[in-house]
């Protein structure tokens, strides 16, 4: 098999969406733990620098959700202690951990999605079905790094002119507001230039054609079939109640029997396969480079 980076964009999109979607709509602690571990592994193998920056933030969001929910939701039959005459229950803590795991794993998957699904790949996947929406989305994604780089240039210019001070919070907020104002003006001007350029090149005046840089090969078909098979088993197990988890009034995780075990195994393969395939691709590349 091949890594998602080398696969057809449609196969990579399908795999990432199914892996993230099952975890987003199934509040099962085991599935969420598998999703978080698999997404973190893939992000760490795919981009170690981005993982070092993003994973602490995602784990902090997980901890924050786990701690905040018991303070506001007091349902549950197992009180741990009483805070301001309100019980803090074990069930509310477990529910907050599940929500935090869902948020953290979803952020990990979509952080990897941002790196894998570039604008040209999104145009390939959605270009024929939703051409206008795809064009708007690709332009918006293109402006994210452009705005980041432009903000750095404006901030450096303001510092060189002595207009951006960081002695206290008020001066910093004023400087950031000035930078934001410049960025808004710059974005509007570039939007007008882009629209004029598209009009000058005849966009929308004739029959739309598209050029695809990617080919759908047999290995991509096999990747899609494996992905759909694994996701179908996991979804069937969840729909049948084998993966059901009740948080209130008492926490109870359904054993699920054989179908539940198979569902967990299939989702584990779905979640961990991208990271394992990427790791294998990196090892193969390092071996090839060592022979040069």
In terms of domains, do 91 and 228 share one?
yes
Query: What average pLDDT does the segment 87-100 reach?
Result: 88
Q: Can you give the pLDDT at residue 133?
A: 75
In terms of domains, do 29 and 72 share one?
yes
Q: Is residue 212 part of a domain?
A: no
Q: Which residues contact 22 (CB under 8 A, 6 or more apart)?
A: 31, 35, 231, 234, 235, 238, 267, 270
Measured distance CA(284)–CA(110) in Å, rounded: 26
Q: Is residue 58 part of a domain?
A: yes
Q: Can you give the pLDDT at residue 208?
A: 67
Q: Is residue 4 part of a domain?
A: no
Coil/strand/helix, residue 85: coil
Between these two residues, 266 and 83, which has the higher pLDDT value? 266
In terms of domains, do 155 and 224 share one?
no
Q: Is residue 208 part of a domain?
A: no
Query: What average pLDDT does the segment 135-156 reach?
Result: 82
Number of domains in the chain: 2
Measured distance CA(231)–CA(22) in Å, rounded: 8
Between these two residues, 213 and 257, which has the higher pLDDT value? 257
Over the stretch 114-123, which tens digit does the pLDDT of each residue have? Answer: 888 877 787 7
Region class of 223: left (phi > 0), else alpha (psi between -120 and 50), else beta: alpha
Between these two residues, 142 and 181, which has the higher pLDDT value? 181
Q: Can you give the pLDDT at residue 117?
A: 82
Q: Is residue 186 part of a domain?
A: yes
In terms of domains, do 150 and 241 share one?
no
Quickly state the pLDDT bin for 266 (edges 50, 70, 90).
Answer: very high
In terms of domains, do 141 and 223 share one?
no
Q: Is residue 260 part of a domain?
A: yes
Q: Can you give the pLDDT at residue 216?
A: 84
In terms of domains, do 26 and 166 share one?
no
Q: Is residue 280 part of a domain?
A: yes
In terms of domains, do 147 and 227 share one?
no
In terms of domains, do 94 and 232 share one?
yes
What percentage of the chain carries pLDDT values higher than 90?
19
Min mean pLDDT across 8-22, 174-188, 210-224 is at 210-224
Domain carrying residue 79: 9-119+219-290
For residue 266 the two structure tokens come to 């299939």
pLDDT at 244 over 80: yes
Domain boundary residue, one of 171, 200, 229 = 200
Q: Is residue 1 part of a domain?
A: no
In terms of domains, do 88 and 226 share one?
yes
Mean pLDDT of the chain: 85
Kindly write down the DSSP assignment for every residue of 134-171, as one continuous string. HHHHHHHHHHHHHHHHHHHHHHHHHHHTT----SSHHH
In terms of domains, do 131 and 104 share one?
no
In terms of domains, do 134 and 166 share one?
yes
In terms of domains, do 265 and 229 share one?
yes
Between these two residues, 220 and 168, which has the higher pLDDT value? 220
Over the stretch 69-86, which tens digit does the pLDDT of each residue have? Answer: 888 888 888 888 887 778
């Amino acid at each position: 098999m091949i890594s998602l980076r080398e696969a057809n964009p449609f196969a990579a999109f399908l795999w990432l969406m199914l892996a993230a979607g099952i975890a987003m709509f199934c509040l099962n602690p085991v599935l969420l733990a598998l999703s978080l571990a698999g997404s973190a592994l893939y992000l760490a193998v795919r981009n170690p620098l981005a993982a070092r920056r993003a994973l602490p933030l995602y784990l902090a969001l997980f901890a924050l959700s786990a701690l905040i929910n018991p303070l506001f939701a007091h349902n549950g039959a197992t009180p741990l202690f009483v805070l301001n005459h309100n019980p803090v229950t074990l069930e509310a803590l477990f529910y907050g951990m599940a929500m935090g795991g869902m948020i953290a794993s979803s952020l990990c998957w979509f952080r990897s999605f941002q790196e894998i699904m570039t604008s040209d790949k999104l145009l390939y996947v959605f270009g024929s079905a939703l051409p206008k929406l795809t064009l708007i989305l690709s332009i918006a994604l293109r402006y994210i790094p452009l705005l980041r780089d432009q903000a750095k240039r404006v901030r450096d210019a303001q510092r060189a002119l002595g207009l951006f001070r960081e002695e206290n919070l008020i001066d910093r907020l004023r400087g950031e507001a000035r930078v934001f104002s410049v960025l808004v003006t710059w974005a509007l001007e570039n939007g007008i230039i882009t629209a004029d350029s598209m009009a000058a090149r005849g966009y929308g005046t004739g029959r739309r054609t598209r050029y695809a840089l990617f080919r759908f090969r047999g290995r991509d078909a096999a990747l899609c079939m494996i992905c759909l098979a694994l996701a179908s088993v996991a979804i069937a197990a969840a729909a049948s109640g084998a993966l059901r988890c009740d948080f209130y009034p008492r926490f109870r995780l359904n054993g699920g029997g054989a179908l539940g075990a198979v569902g967990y195994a299939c989702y584990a393969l779905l979640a961990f396969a991208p990271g394992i395939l990427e790791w294998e691709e990196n090892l193969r590349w390092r071996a090839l480079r060592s022979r040069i």
